């Protein structure tokens, strides 16, 4: 129903982008835009008023993405009524204003550590290793690999080693029967898939992706 109602909601400028997912709306305004953020947000507010809806400003966040160490940088003033933050969660991924994923990696590793404790309890209760491995894939590995094609290229060496070390500890704890593919290798495979998108036909791409992921599942 929300998607039907929001079908006529669009940006004023062709440069700006509007992403709609379920009942969430995300507005992306680049620095070289011809219509600034305040005008675009005002357009969304007018659309909400005309459709009998109310925008919850307490949940509305504004994040300014920039290089980690810019030479010349002045933080723009936030829109009236909006909170300007340094990090924000979007579809389960924590984005930071400097394009870093330190907060997100720390967050998912904390969650996965709690789930490893649960797996240890199941191990001590006598759950077979084959079943433990299935549960590990479902509640731990899936969490670590979520949205990896999008955030993987922005992970630094320290974060990659931190995730890889966690996977190795999980294997030593005896909650998984196979040592997962090292994260650097997985990121390299994902980069190959991305590069292949522009250099092959759709049928060949399906065969390549199928073979790659069959290899990954064999080692996970």
The Cα–Cα gap between 146 and 170 comes to 18
The Cα–Cα gap between 151 and 94 comes to 10
Tell me which of 5-19, 52-66, 107-121, 173-187 is least confident: 173-187
Segment 168-197 shows an average pLDDT of 73
pLDDT of residue 3: 58
Mean pLDDT of the chain: 82
Q: Flag whether pLDDT at 94 surpasses 90.
A: yes
Assigned token pair, 43 = 């357009």
pLDDT band at 210 (very low <50, low <70, confident <90, very high): low
Q: Are 105 and 98 in contact (CB under 8 A)?
A: no
Q: b or e along 77-108 (b: 16 or more beta carbons within 10 Å of the residue's beta carbon)?
A: eebeebeeeebeeeeeebbbbeebbbebbeeb
Q: Are 104 and 146 in contact (CB under 8 A)?
A: no
pLDDT of residue 54: 85
Q: Are 100 and 158 in contact (CB under 8 A)?
A: no
pLDDT per position as a tens digit, 151-170: 888 888 898 889 989 999 99
Helix (H, G, I), strand (E, B) or coil at 19: strand
């Amino acid at each position: 129903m929300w998607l039907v109602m929001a079908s006529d909601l669009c940006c004023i400028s062709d440069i700006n982008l509007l992403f709609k997912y379920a009942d969430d709306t995300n507005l992306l305004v680049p620095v070289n835009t011809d219509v600034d953020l305040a005008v675009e947000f005002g357009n969304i507010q007018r659309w909400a008023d005309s459709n009998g809806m109310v925008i919850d400003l307490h949940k509305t966040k504004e994040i300014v993405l920039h290089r980690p160490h810019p030479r010349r940088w002045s933080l723009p003033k936030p829109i009236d009524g909006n909170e300007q933050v340094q990090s924000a969660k979007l579809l389960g991924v924590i984005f930071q204003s400097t394009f870093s994923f330190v907060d997100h990696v720390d967050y998912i590793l904390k969650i996965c550590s709690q789930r490893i404790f649960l797996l240890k309890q199941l191990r001590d209760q006598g759950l077979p290793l084959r079943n433990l491995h299935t549960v590990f894939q479902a509640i731990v590995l899936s969490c670590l690999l979520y949205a990896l094609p999008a955030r993987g290229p922005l992970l630094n060496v320290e974060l990659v080693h931190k995730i890889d070390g966690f996977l190795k500890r999980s294997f030593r704890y005896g909650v998984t029967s196979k040592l997962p593919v090292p994260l650097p290798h997985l990121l390299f495979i994902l980069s190959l898939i991305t590069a292949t998108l522009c250099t092959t036909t759709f049928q060949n791409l399906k065969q390549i992706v199928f073979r790659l992921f069959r290899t990954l599942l064999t080692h996970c």
